[in-house]
Structure 1
Amino acid sequence: MSAELGLPANENGVDQKVLAAFPLCDVTEEDLRQNPQFCQLLTALAHHVDKMGLTGPLKTELEKAEQKLMSQRRVWLQSESLTGALQEMIQDHKVRKRHAAVPPDQSTFYETVEKCLLVARCARLLDPSDTTEKDRPSVLALTPQRVTEFMPSANSVERMKQILPAALEEHLSKKCFTFLCYYQPECENRNQSPERKTLSHLTAQLKQSKKKAEDLKERSREKRALLQRQTRLGLSEMIQCVRLMQSFILENRLKFQVDLDRDKLDYFEGKCELISQKIKAEMVAVRLETYTVDSISAHKEIRKSLQSELRSCQAEKNSVESKLFSFEILGKEFEALAEEYGKLRQEIDVKNWALKEFATYDDQ
């Protein structure tokens, strides 16, 4: 493969030669090294196609088509340029006519030119092309032949044709000189007559500038493709570096994670112990502030009285429990007697209350 390309047996040189032969192909040197058969295919294709991927016959046909298109475009541009120049002349005449007096023959000339342009434009718009239907209804029932009836008189047209070349040449000469002054500002301070020689060289200068701009554009495109490849390679290298850093960080993190966790555990244990001691100290301080000597003695007296009451209540509870136990031994018969006793006690209480009420009533 190196021999076919006329290069020494160097893989990098071969890869660069292949990439230079196909600048529009989105392939890197790494792709070519990983796919040697694809590299051989591209090397073989480099002898049959150009940098744009075109074969010899196809390139010839494309050049012929471009030449034909350029000739047709040139004809169209000539017509459009001539029409535009005439429109500019008419517009300039209208501006001059508004600001100053204009000779009548000059006004007649420009009016004739304007009418001829308008009629020609209408006739061209009404004339069906080869791609449209011939039997399509015309606009407002107008035909090109009907529109041509509005042309100025033959004498006016003939006089216009005689004056038009000189007027058009003068207008174009002024435009060219204006463009020359824009392209070469130093020409504006000179006399206009000597610069007519320079106008003949203006086309060559423009072609040279255009060629220079195209060369710069081509070099810029090549540099952009090279920059894209270098950027892609740089990004791939950066991705590999990031992966290596991630693996390194992960390994070191797993290695030192145990020691880090142990240190954290010791730290939190010490912190918890410190907080618990602080809580105990605060509790002692609160107790010292709350319980003074007088309050402690008073609490002792209260405790003694409560304990004595507790003992009396406990003794009463024991006696009641013994009575309940004795009642439980008597069984269900005692329950009936107890209920009857309760009812009798209620009746006695009611009768005692009634006697008291009667006694108070008798006293009154």
Structure 2
Amino acid sequence: LFLQYSSTSTRREHVKVTTGSQPGFLERLSETSGGMVVGLMTFLLSFYLIFTNEGRALKTATSLAEGLSLVVSPDSIHSVAPENEGRLVHIIGALRTSKLLSDPNYGVHLPAVKLRRHVEMYQWVETEESREYTEDGQVKKETRYSYNTEWRSEIINSKNFDREIGHKNPSAMAVESFTATAPFVQIGRFFLSPGLIDKVDNFKPLSLSKLEDPHVDIIRRGDFFYHSENPKYPEVGDLRVSFSYAGLSGDDPDLGPAHMVTVIARQRGDQLVPFSTKSGDTLLLLHHGDFSAEEVFHRELRSNSMKTWGLRAAGWMAMFMGLNLMTRILYTLVDWFPVFRDLVNIGLKAFAFCMATSLTLLTVAAGWLFYRPLWALLIAGLALVPIIVARTRVSAKKLE
């Protein structure tokens, strides 16, 4: 074990070097066997992810198509139309709350759906960089630990540092972050259900320029309140507090006009609640801005498509990684022959790529088989292409 220390006015660091023997063949084989188990679990999980994703995507698309065919737009948001009771309605309007949200400790009062207090503490942060190398037949690991002070919103436990002495952080903050939410939110005569209120999440920073220092121990600088003797040169343990808001209620000369939203939900009296579709899904949509019903459903379909392709890619990657881990043992068996080892590694990667691609497409086809059989058969045909190409190349090499 070798230690080396260095320090500057803004950064402290030390280097630790540990020495160990090179792992033997049986030890590496044992590690590879453990990786095979992890690979098998990842491989099986990928099938579940891909298959259920197809069911979710089709269910969502069907629900959106049903919603688009049923949605109606009331003539006015300032009256509740009895004929729309239980129907899927399309509402556009400005958000309105019944009372101000406030944080009296800092003199902040705001008409909004949500008010968030964000607290950060000046703390020591450890970063770690490692590299391994072989020297004199031994494997050495060099780890460089660096320490800087930063503003962080989460408590950093300095007990987990490699060297806590001189880098100790407080174990708690005197002030905590929180988000206040208005209990009642309206658009015209309609009240938003809790699910819709949760979707009001377009937080904007609140300017503190017109506020005074709330206490002698608190100093305002820019858009932060500092619990510090000198905000320009903070010390470890100092706090700074900022505020943000979402869903401005009513027009404000400093913050601008009231926040406009578009909602699609079921009308139940004067409340906007989830709408249950025939496919077993629910529709409860809120978009920031003024959109027609067609635009809202188009945006939702696009979002569903992006999510579907994202999960397909994640499933393919999980399958590819699982196959890599499962076949890694073959690479370990030929690890002593450098040239042959590299060829085997390339072959295993190509095998994993082709198998992951084919199995992903087949799983997608299986998911679609229950809903769109013709599309499923087409995808299944495409899934066979990588396998056919691979076999064709193998046959060509044998003929040579």
Bin the TM-score by the shorter chain. under 0.3
TM-score, L = length of structure 1: 0.17
| Structure with the higher strand share, 1 or 2 | 2
TM-score, L = length of structure 2: 0.16
Larger radius of gyration: 1
Structure with the bigger RCO (C-alpha within 8 Å, sep 6+) is: 2
